[in-house]
A and B are shown apart, each in its own frame.
Chain A
Amino acid sequence: MKLIERYLNEIGRYLPHNKRADILAELRSVLEDSLEAKAGPEPSEGEIAEVIREMGAPAKVAAAYHPASQYLIGPELFPLFKLVLGIVLLTSIGGQLIATVVSVMFGDGQVRILEMLLGLLNSIPVTLGMVTLVFYLLQRFEVNPDFKEEAFDPYKLPKFEDEEPVNRVEQVVGIVMGVLFFIVLAWFADQGAFGWSRVNGVFENPVLERYFFWIGLSITAGIVLSIILLWRGRWQTSTRIANVGINLFSLVVLFQLIQGHREWLRAAGYSGNFMVINELTEIIGEGTQLIGMLGTQIALTVAAIIVLIDTVVFVARLITRANRRARVMDYRLPAK
């Protein structure tokens, strides 16, 4: 009879705790019934083995009682798993990119691009593992989401995006902003300094002055692209690539500017710790230029974050669109 104990214990390993005792008691009862019918009250070891063999391998028997144990993440949970994984991966990558930009402002060294990329690469398997673990536990404890399946609507099928129209309002706003910025820059070039609205007087910004040409170039490029887009009325491969190129160029300029401001601020005795309020009040006491430089640096950082997010979203959409377009074809056989 030892064989039956070993068999039942092995099946028990694969069964959920709350059902184990009851299922195994029933299996024992039917095994004994089966043995008695086939071998009488005193079965031999061989006859027991035969009855067990007939019943099947432990994992297989357990699986029939508890099919969910066969999945790491079962079919009910899988769609939610995919959705959550996508969101978590995107936010974690996006968050790290933003953190990198912020570290340019508050950190003590150059941005180490390679280090950042390696960090990103490292974080992906960890994120994947964590989400999988959470869903494995949900599966294990049989927490199943009760999804109301949306009624299928053919009109909601994805559109072909070959002819993606340009959002005109967006482009017009872009042009207006660009021109306004240009006016400010021109005024700056004329005065050699910025006006500070609260405090009377102006502050000089040697960093902006140094990169004046590059700032102008990146804004001009943006305005030219917007005009082309308005004129053509739709996005094309060339304009998409140009958009990414201009964004990357702007990012480089912004990074240089932020870096320059940081160096200037440090040279002026500002430690770079944004959060120290004492220091801030001291700075306010110290004069317009310091506040101006700090304010500009913060504004530049915000701009860099916005441009970065915009670029990442644009590239991500570009990739999904390219994927979809690669599959689009006319599924008809030519008629003879």
Chain B
Amino acid sequence: MWGMIDDQREAYEKISQELRRGLVILAALSRLDEKKYGYSLISELSEAGLEIEQGTLYPLLRRLESQGLLDSFWDVEGSRPRRYYVLNETGQTVLETLTVDWRSLVAVMDRLLNR
């Protein structure tokens, strides 16, 4: 990224964003076998090395819920009300399939990039 002129950086950022778009979904699903609220998920992913913008992750969780992969509920017991998300059965199955897909993609990409 260093040494790029502005046009190059802009192109790079666009492509990089596209590359991460699908990946973020898989990353989020992978951590939701236990119930989590938005901020705890973003912190966990960040600790693991994946920085996701808040403005991206929260709407994404709702979309996955409306697609039937996640269940959600409000918990008003703690210091403040929090909305929790957790994988449901469909989500589990989809995550397993996507994990297989991901591994084979990584293998293919490794072959392509290490020629």
A33 and B38 in contact, given A25-B81, A26-B83, A65-B62 (Cβ under 8 angstroms): yes
With a CB–CB cut-off of 8 A, which chain B residues contact A37?
39, 43
Contact (Cβ within 8 A) A56 B39: no
Contact B82 A29 (CB under 8 A): yes
- CB-based contact A56/B55 at 8 Å: yes
Q: Known interface pairs A29-B37, A29-B38, A33-B38. Does A55 touch B54 (Cβ–Cβ under 8 Å)?
A: yes
Contact-residue size bin, chain B (C-beta under 8 Å from the other chain): 10 to 19
**Known contacts A26-B83, A54-B54: does B59 contact A33 (CB below 8 Å)?**
no
CB contacts (< 8 Å) of B102 on chain A: these are none
Known A25-B81, A26-B83, A65-B62; contact A33-B39, beta-carbon cutoff 8 A: yes
Q: Which of A23, A29, A34, A64 contacts B81 (CB 8 A)?
A: A29
Partner of B39, one of A23, A34, A64, A65: A34
Contact for A30 among B53, B58, B62, B74, CB less than 8 A: B58
A205 to chain B, nearest CB (A): 74
B111 to chain A, nearest CB (A): 34
Chain B hits for A54, CB < 8 A = 54
Q: Is B56 interfacial (CB 8 A cutoff)?
A: yes
| A contact residues, range | 10 to 19
Residue-wise, chain B 55-81 has the 8 Å CB interface mask toward A (1 for contact) of 110110010000000000010000011
Cα of A42 to Cα of B54 in the assembled complex, Å: 22
A63 CB, min distance to chain B CBs, angstroms: 9
Identify the closest chain A residue to B60 (Cβ): A64
Residue in contact with A55 in the complex, picked from B37, B55, B62, B82, CB distance below 8 Å? B55
A249 CB → nearest B CB, Å: 61
Cβ contacts under 8 Å, A26 to chain B: 38, 58, 83
In this complex, what residue of B is CB-closest to A56? B55
Let me know if B55 and A64 touch, CB within 8 A: yes
Closest 5 CB pairs of A and B: A33-B39, A64-B59, A56-B55, A30-B38, A65-B59
A interface list, Cβ under 8 A from B: 23, 25-27, 29-30, 32-34, 37, 54-56, 60-61, 64-65
| New contact pairs (10) apart from A25-B81, A29-B39, A29-B83, CB-CB < 8 Å | A23-B62, A25-B83, A26-B58, A33-B38, A33-B82, A34-B54, A54-B54, A64-B58, A65-B58, A65-B59
